[in-house]
Structure formats: C-alpha cells, structure tokens
Amino acid sequence: MRLKIEDFDPVSNGDLREFWKMNRDPNLTRLILEAVRYRRVIYRALDEAQRIEDGLREKHNGKIVGASGSLVMRLRDEQTRLRSQGGYVIKLTTDDQYSRA
C-alpha cells in the first residue's frame, strides 16, 4: 500500500521534544530542527498574510505593500533554500482548493 502525505497526523511539538530526547542521531536532529524551522516560517508567513487581508479590509495600501513584499521575499527565500538542498515541492491534494486562479 502506497502511503500519502494526507494519511499522517501532524507531529506535535511534544512529539518533537520526545524524539529529541530519545535519539541523538545527527540526521534525526537535523530533521527535527527543519520541522521546527518550517513551523516558524509558516507562522510568520501567516501573520504577513493576515496583515495583507486586514489592509485590504481597511484599505491601508502601505500596510498591504509592506506585508505582501515581506511575505513574497520570505516564501522565495524558502523556495530557493529548498531547491539548493536538492528538495522539491510536494503537491498536496488541497492545493487546488485554496487557489484563486
């Protein structure tokens, strides 16, 4: 049976702490740190997207331009970093659900 990314429950911060305590394998440590890093990136990106939405609602163009520029740069940096490490983006089944083409 082929496993899909949607078949897994998210790993909690508590789970990550337990993995960290139980195992000192440098590869697992890197993986844990990568998960923590991407969670921080996602939270920051969400905050910037929320500021854009708030700016649109309140018609504050300066707020929109600043937050959207920051969001685009953050996501572009992550895309570049992922590719520089030989990674690739996994298409999720929910991707089309959120796009506004």
Query: What are the domain boundaries of the chain?
Result: 12-98
User: Which pLDDT does position 69 carry in this prediction?
Assistant: 83
Q: Indicate yes or no: pTM above 0.85.
A: no
pLDDT value at residue 13 = 87
Q: State the pLDDT confidence band at 21, using cuts at 50, 70 and 90.
A: very high
Closest CA to 100 of 48, 39, 51, 53: 53
What number is the average pLDDT over the span 3-31?
86
Instruction: Count CA within 13 A, CB hemisphere, residue 90.
Output: 6
